[in-house]
């Protein structure tokens, strides 16, 4: 089974499950796709209950920040069929890939989930010039979701570092994403 739209390494997608979206890494090694999902997240619960997940390819930095911290309204989701089951993708996705998701292993903290491709579709092929501001939003948001678990000075330093890069290299959408992220973290705008 090929990886389809995913590539070797870790793909930072926005994963949708039933009426839920969150940034998640899909790990592709040796032609196999897996996720490691923290228990307690909505994504983990829905995968346990429903056995499917959709990887959404979308390059809106605001959506990465927003879905890391809150839920989206119903109209952000579009129903599809994949391998005979109803799934949901993000309405704005440029491409999406639906997987059946089987729990391979559980640890105290996480589910290790094995993915098998059911269906994928490219809706709007768009070129994304490399932008360090966008990449830095992804980095800052990863660290921000860790702050929520255990805050420390190192995480705060990393977030400030990536915030500087966003301000230097990002466009309007990255700046909007950064101010949203600062809002979630309770960091004053001017810092």
Ligand X SMILES: Cc1cc2nc3c(=O)[nH]c(=O)nc-3n(C[C@H](O)[C@H](O)[C@H](O)COP(=O)(O)O)c2cc1C
Give the footprint of ligand X on this chain (CB under 6 A). 12, 20, 22-25, 35-38, 41-43, 64, 68, 138, 141-142, 145
61 neighbors 12 (Cβ within 8 angstroms): no
Least distance from ligand X to the Cβ atom of residue 41, Å: 3
Distance CA 56, CA 141 (A): 17
DSSP per residue, 83-139: TTEEEEEETT-SEEEEEEEEEEEE-SSEEEEEEEEEEEEES--------HHHHHHHH
Residue 37 or residue 98: which is nearer to ligand X going by CB? 37
Residue 74 or residue 84: which is nearer to ligand X going by CB? 74
Any idea which residue has 């979630």 for tokens?
184
Residue 118 or residue 139: which is nearer to ligand X going by CB? 139
Least distance from ligand X to the Cβ atom of residue 33, Å: 12
Least distance from ligand X to the Cβ atom of residue 142, Å: 5
Residue 149 or residue 168: which is nearer to ligand X going by CB? 149
Least distance from ligand X to the Cβ atom of residue 103, Å: 13
Half-sphere exposure of residue 33: CA atoms within 13 angstroms, side-chain side: 26
Q: Which tokens is 90 given?
A: 């993000």
């Amino acid at each position: 089974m090929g990886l389809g739209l995913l590539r070797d390494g870790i793909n930072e997608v926005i994963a949708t499950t039933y009426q839920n979206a969150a940034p998640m890494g899909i790990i592709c090694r040796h032609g196999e796709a897996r996720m490691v999902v923290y228990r307690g997240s909505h994504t983990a619960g829905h995968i346990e209950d429903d056995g499917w997940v959709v990887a959404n390819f979308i390059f809106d930095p605001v959506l990465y920040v927003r879905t890391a911290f809150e839920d989206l309204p119903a109209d952000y989701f579009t129903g599809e069929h994949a391998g005979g089951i109803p799934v949901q993708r993000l309405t704005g996705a440029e491409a999406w890939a639906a997987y059946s998701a089987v729990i391979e292993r559980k640890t105290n903290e996480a589910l290790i989930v094995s993915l098998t491709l059911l269906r994928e579709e490219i809706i709007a092929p768009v070129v994304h010039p490399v932008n360090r501001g966008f990449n830095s939003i992804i980095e800052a948001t990863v660290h921000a979701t860790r702050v929520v678990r255990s805050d420390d000075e190192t995480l705060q330093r990393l977030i400030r570092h990536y915030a500087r890069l966003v301000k230097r290299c990002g466009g309007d959408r990255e700046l909007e994403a950064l101010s949203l992220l600062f809002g979630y973290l309770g960091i004053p705008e001017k810092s």
